[in-house]
Amino acid sequence: MATMLYDRDSTARHVEAAKRLLRLCKRAAGTEDLVAAIEAPLAGLEAKRDEADAKSEERMYASDALVLADTQLDNAVRTAFERCQQFDRSNVGAPVLPRVFPSGTFGDLVRVPLLEEPDAVRELALRLEALGDDHALHAVAADLRAAAEVSVQAANDFRAAVRAEKDAEAEEEIAQAGLRLEYERCYLRARERFGRSGAEQLFPQLTAGPPRVADAKTE
């Protein structure tokens, strides 16, 4: 009995079934309309699948960029901490490290959740800027702000990539449904024209797959 497609089936299964149907129909007379009917939704699904795959890659790359930006932001925080330590070692007077890093460490900053860290780093930059425009560490604040902005942009790009991926996946599912519906319609038309036995010669058994060469020779 011919196997129909279901919404739980993957795109790969939809494409495989449609292509096998096309090949069989092209070997039989009087099936030109079935070929024409299935070609368009098949091409549409393949295009939507390729687009979804591309959006998935873009989301992956955006994720990589976000992780890299976060690592660079962590390193900027570590550098700021080291610069404060170096300044205090080289200058007599009130140390700046306790003013800039009240906890005495940078660990609490680099452990902040990834999407919240830029705000925490901006606060760190404010404490450095409070030392004065002419302070030797003032420029470190600019480096921190720049790294925070890169991280924010990377986060925005990642969110956009996730949305684009979900939209592409939804469009792929719609294309699946269109192909699935046309596949069933083609089967019904084939049954009206060739009878059940003739129709099932055109529609492959999807569960078992094509016979092995050895089996085909034996038969």
CATH number at residue 125: 1.10.287
Mean pLDDT in order along the chain per 10 residues (219 residues): 89 96 93 95 98 98 97 97 96 92 94 94 96 94 97 97 98 97 95 92 74 44
Q: Are 91 and 103 in contact (CB under 8 A)?
A: no
Within-domain flag for 163: yes
pLDDT at 213: 47
pTM of the complete model: 0.82
pLDDT at 219: 38
Within-domain flag for 121: yes
Within-domain flag for 105: yes
pLDDT at 112: 93
Within-domain flag for 36: yes
pLDDT at 204: 84
pLDDT at 27: 92
H helices of 27-137, where? 32-90, 97-100, 107-110, 117-129
Within-domain flag for 1: no
Q: Specify the number of domains making up the chain.
A: 1
Within-domain flag for 32: yes
Within-domain flag for 6: no
Within-domain flag for 24: yes
pLDDT at 140: 96
CA 60 to chain centre: 5
Domain assignment of residue 108, given as a range = 11-206
pLDDT at 103: 93
Residue 108, both tokens: 């609490």
Number of CB atoms found within 10 A of residue 60's CB: 12
Residue 38, Cβ density class (10 Å: 0-12 exposed, 13-18 middle, ≥19 buried):
buried
